[in-house]
A and B are shown apart, each in its own frame.
Chain A
Amino acid sequence: MKIRGDIVRLYRNVHSWAGITAGLFLFIAFYAGGMTMFELPLGNWASRTSALPAPVPAERLSELVQKAQAADPTVATNHTVVLHPNETSPSSLMWTVSADRDHGPARTVYAGLAADGALVTQTRTPSQVGYFLNILHQRIGLPLNREYGRLIMGIVALLYAVALVSGTIVLLPSLIRNLFALRLTENLRRVWLDFHTLLGFCSLPFHIVMAATAAGFAFHQPIMALEKNLFFPAAPTHLAQKDKPHHGQNPQALLEPMAIVDAFRTQVPGLEPDALAYSSRGGKLSLHVMVHDTAEVARRPDGGYGEVNPYTGRLTSTDFLPGHQTPAFQVLTVIYALHFGTFGGLLIRWGYAVLGFGGAFLFYSGNQLWLSSRRRRERSAGLTEDSFGTRFLSILTTGCMIGCISGVSAVLAATPLLPEGGHYQTVEALFYAVFFSCVMVAVCLGGARSLRPLLAVAGVLTLLIPLTDMMRCLASGAVTSLALSVDGVALVYGVVLVMLALRKGQRQTPAAGVAVTP
């Protein structure tokens, strides 16, 4: 592919500046984003559900719901009947009792029936660790609220798009020549360059998808407001009734849970209902029948849903029901699924996690590349020490990136020890304490010299995950396969980090020596 030399030169500059500006944020976004591929299993792992009410058999579900409504009338318009209880939702009936949606899973009441048929409840907040990692990813590592977070996220999404386009333009002319030429020479800059090129090219489709969907997510809110002004209103709806909720006064009787399930199964054969979620929408009781099928393309990791009339059991909307969508809604679902990796089951989720962590490393290598070529230029200009800019970016690269790894590991290591599997504020405070400590270490020692100790810190914190988790398992006496796999992955990862810290020590010394001599 032929592109004019001046354009390639121009975009090489654009690429490095856009990359440097967005790289640190994108590292955190991709590292935490890779983690969110396992948000549900991590939630299961973190949850403390042993003392919650046991599930009731299917034929007593109706009795349970009626007793719960008798005890608390608001339950009627806000509850979920769990048809297949598991580790995260072990009880047959649950409802939320707090409206705080910004900190993840809300405070939840879990209900069951005692041996004598009396209603038993337990109130608990599910672990918010997985949600914290998700928000860390969405807010690109900044502790901002939704409003400002979106703004910064939008700016970074634009920079990401610019870096991606410019990187591709730089790459295209020399594609065949340079792609697989991984020159493992003495020249550190060449190694980083070849590595960055190879990694960038191999994950290009993934990055195009991520840049496009991230830009979509970032500007959702303002675009929705604009759409309302640009387009014509649809057929008029019953706006007058919106402010008059009248739960319980409906003359019709609600169908029993199992009747809904039976009606759903006859209307949609092949899809197994997971849960019945009742909520109030515009004063009307609405029912979502949640289905979960990992093989299908789903909008969210927890699957899709069909809207069902709670009085008749008739399916009213299949807009978000996997396998029963119109082509247009299917397209919409694919957009979400491409970002969340919710298609093709576990293999794709692991693939997305690898690509996510690979993406994080791509930004790390980009920063290292920038640093080594700047150092080279400064040495040839006669400077014996790094200029302020070089030192500054070197500190930020090591401090923020290794700080992010350490912070996430610290959060996961603390999870087994924290009450209720970690509240949002607690894990947020812990993450930023570790993160900023790492940045401070980098400030004190300098970017290159702090790399080895910080990698060791990250490794030790990661190795603490299996330690604390096994302590919890031994204390409670239950070792699940999920806990074993989380611990196993953390163990291997921690050992790798520690080994890197030790190996880097041997390699860094001559490299640093070279860097200091002009």
Chain B
Amino acid sequence: MSDVAPGKSLDGTGWIGKVLAGLILGAVLAIGLMGILGLLFHADAQLKTATSQILRWFPGPVWGLIVAFSFLFHTSRQAWLALAVINGVVWALFFLLHGIMA
């Protein structure tokens, strides 16, 4: 991506940082979302219910989408920050639900 001419609005500069943010924080985010959905729909830890088996298919595509769209962040810093904040909210919600339902 180094051969991209620097444009004024959005270009490939800092793509490694953005993609790494998408790869690492995107995975954590996808798992967190799966956790929330699983709690809401009463998925079980033994993977016997249909819900827990269907949810297994959820994080992969979501992760892929997050990585694909991580190029849209303006800077690598913004990518890490934004994804970290969303992760914080999602995982806080997960642990809240986990606490309420336990």
**B79 contacts chain A at the CB level, 8 A cutoff:** no
Please state if B56 and A9 are interface contacts (CB–CB under 8 Å).
no
Total A residues in contact with B, Cβ cutoff 8 Å: 46
- Which residue of chain B is the closest to A168 with respect to CB atoms? B68
Do B50 and A326 touch (CB < 8 A)? yes
Asked whether any CB of chain B lies closer than 8 Å to the CB of A20, the reply is no
Chain B residues near A218 (CB, 8 Å)? 60
Give, as a whole number of angstroms, the nearest-CB distance from B1 to chain A.
6
| Cβ-defined contact, A7 with B45, below 8 A | no
Known: A162-B64, A215-B60, A232-B102. A224 touches B47 (CB 8 A): yes
Scoring A157, A213, A234 by chain B CB atoms within 10 A of each residue's CB, the highest score goes to A234
Contact across chains for B1 and A13 when beta carbons are under 8 A apart = yes
On whether the beta carbons of A332 and B53 are closer than 8 Å, the reply is: yes
In the complex, the answer to whether B60 meets A10 with C-beta atoms within 8 Å is no
Q: Which chain B residues lie closer than 8 Å to A14 at the CB level?
A: 1, 12, 15, 68, 71
Q: CA separation between A157 and B9, bound complex, in Å?
A: 30
Q: Is A6 an interface residue (CB 8 A)?
A: yes
Q: Chain B interface (Cβ within 8 Å of chain A)?
A: 1, 4, 7-12, 15, 23, 31, 34-35, 38-39, 43-61, 63-65, 67-69, 71-72, 94, 101-102
**Given A165-B68, A212-B61, does the pair A328, B54 have CB atoms closer than 8 Å?**
yes
| Dominant SS among interface residues on chain B | helix
When the two chains form their complex, are residues B71 and A228 in contact, meaning their CB atoms are under 8 A apart?
no
Closest A-chain residue to B49, C-beta based? A234
Taken together as a complex, chains A and B put the C-alpha atoms of A214 and B38 apart, in Å, by: 21
Let me know if A237 and B68 touch, CB within 8 A: no
Interface residue A166 (Cβ < 8 Å from any Cβ of B) = yes
Residues of A whose CB lies within 8 Å of any CB of B are 4, 6-7, 9-11, 13-14, 17, 157-158, 160-162, 164-166, 211-220, 223-224, 226-234, 237, 319, 326, 328-329, 331-332, 335
In the complex, besides A6-B10, A228-B45, 8 extra interface pairs with C-beta distance below 8 angstroms are: A161-B64, A214-B60, A227-B45, A229-B45, A230-B34, A231-B39, A234-B48, A335-B57
Q: Taking chain A's interface residues, is the majority helix, strand, or loop, or is none over half, making it mixed?
A: helix
Within the complex, the shortest CB–CB distance from A204 to chain B, in Å, comes to: 15
Partner of B47, one of A157, A213, A216, A228: A228
Q: Which of B4, B50, B60, B94 contacts A216 (CB 8 A)?
A: B60
**Once the chains are docked, how many angstroms separate the CA of A219 from the CA of B62?**
12
A158 to B11, CA, bound (A): 21
* Cβ contacts under 8 Å, B34 to chain A: 223, 226-227, 230
A272 CB to closest chain B CB (Å) equals 25
A215 to B69, Cβ gap below 8 A? no
Q: Choose among A6, A162, A216, A232 the residue that contacts B67 (Cβ–Cβ < 8 A).
A: A162
Are A232 and B44 interface neighbours, CB within 8 A? yes
Give Cα A220 to B34, complex, Å. Answer: 13
Knowing A218-B60, A230-B35, say if A10 contacts B11 (CB, 8 Å): yes
Contact A231 B56, CB 8 Å, known A10-B4, A158-B63 = no
* Pair B54/A226 contact, Cβ less than 8 Å: no
Chain B residues in 8 Å Cβ range of A160: 64
Closest beta carbon of chain B to A283's beta carbon, Å? 17
Closest to A11 in B: B71
Closest to B15 in A: A14
Chain A residues in 8 Å Cβ range of B61: 161, 211-212, 215-216
Most buried by A among B11, B31, B56, B58: B56
Shortest Cβ distance from B68 into A: residue: A165
A227 to B: closest C-beta gap in Å: 6
Q: Pick the contact of A231 from B52, B54, B57, B71 — CB < 8 Å?
A: B52
- Considering only CB atoms, which chain B residue lies closest to A327 in the complex? B50
Asked whether, in the complex, the Cβ of B4 is within 8 Å of the Cβ of A335, the reply is: no
A17, B15: Cα distance in complex, Å: 12
